């Protein structure tokens, strides 16, 4: 699909939900990765860049005990170096039922430091609407009393 979009000459920026640059970890979060792994995605993204000359944005949530280790950081840096890209680190808005936890501020800062020291643009996207579980569409998961 990415190659087709590039061939069609679309005029928008491409953002990819990455969340891990390690196949096993990404597949556990995004089952689609099992049929179209990171190497295939990278080939498509490199094709996109050659065709459009537009940098890719990686959307990346860092979760505690899932993708917050040094090996995860190193894998992301390596992946980003292979195609012109920038990274949006997204603050996770935990909800009671999902079992995921936001990574520590120290883990997030390690990502920022590693990316910046490798000349990769990184931004932290702060969650808005946390107080009402509205971030990332999570308000829809709440039962509203009658």
* Of 43 and 135, the one with more pLDDT: 43
User: Could you give the angle at the alpha carbon of 35 between the alpha carbons of 29 and 40, nearest 5°?
Assistant: 100
- Which pLDDT does position 91 carry in this prediction? 87
Total-model pTM: 0.84
The pLDDT, as a whole number, for residue 76 is: 98
| E strand segments, the chain | 14-17, 56-61, 85-90, 121-125
What the chain holds in terms of domains, given with CATH numbers, is 18-127 (3.20.20.70)
Report helix, strand and coil shares of the chain as percent, to nearest 5. Answer: 45, 15, 40
- Per-residue DSSP letter, 131: G
Helix (H, G, I), strand (E, B) or coil at 12: coil
Q: How confident is the model at residue 11 (pLDDT cuts 50, 70, 90)?
A: confident
Measured between alpha carbons, how far is 25 from 31 in angstroms, rounded to an integer?
A: 10
- Average the pLDDT over 50-71 and give the result: 96
List pLDDT tens digits, range 91-140. 888 776 677 889 999 999 999 999 999 999 999 998 665 545 454 444 44
């Amino acid at each position: 699909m990415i190659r087709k979009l590039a061939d069609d000459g679309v005029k928008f920026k491409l953002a990819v939900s990455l969340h891990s640059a390690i196949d096993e970890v990404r597949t556990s979060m995004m089952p689609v990765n099992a049929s179209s792994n990171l190497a295939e995605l990278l080939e498509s993204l490199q094709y996109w860049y050659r065709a459009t000359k537009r940098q890719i944005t990686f959307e990346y949530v860092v979760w505690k005990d899932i993708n917050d280790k040094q090996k995860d950081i190193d894998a992301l840096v390596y992946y980003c170096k292979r195609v012109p890209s920038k990274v949006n680190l997204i603050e996770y808005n935990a909800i009671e039922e999902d079992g995921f936890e936001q990574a520590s501020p120290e883990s997030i800062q390690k990502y920022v430091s590693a990316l910046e020291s490798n000349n990769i643009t990184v931004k932290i996207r702060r969650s808005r609407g946390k107080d009402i579980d509205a971030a990332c569409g999570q308000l829809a998961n709440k039962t509203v009393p009658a």
